[in-house]
Amino acid sequence: MDLPRIFPRPGTDSVEVEAAMPASVCAALADRGFRLSPAPSAIGGSQAIWIDWDQGVLVGASDHRKDGCALGY
């Protein structure tokens, strides 16, 4: 959930890349012929809940890219 994301534009060789993407990954994509451009905004967002059945608790997390919260009961 915390890792930087890419978004390939369907039918093209263009890929949008979030700013936090390591330079080595960008270079490897460019070496494979992809045209990189900065993503104009966050690519996606998520919330998740992990169920610890042994302890009987829920642990929630929310993606830093957008507003939101993980709720469970």
User: pLDDT, tens digit, for every residue of 12-23?
Assistant: 999 999 999 999
In a domain, 36, yes or no: yes
Judge whether 71 lies within some domain.
no
Query: Does residue 28 have a pLDDT over 90?
Result: yes
Contact partners, residue 40, CB within 8 Å, separation at least 6: 16
Spell out where 1-73 has E strands.
6-8, 14-17, 35-38, 47-52, 57-62
Predicted local distance difference test score (pLDDT) of residue 45: 86
0.85 cut: is pTM over it?
Answer: no
In a domain, 72, yes or no: no
Q: Is residue 73 part of a domain?
A: no
Is residue 18 one of the residues assigned to a domain? Answer: yes
pLDDT, tens digit, for every residue of 40-50? 988 988 899 99
Residue 1 lies in a domain: no
Please tell me the total count of domains within the chain.
1
Domain limits for position 31: 6-62
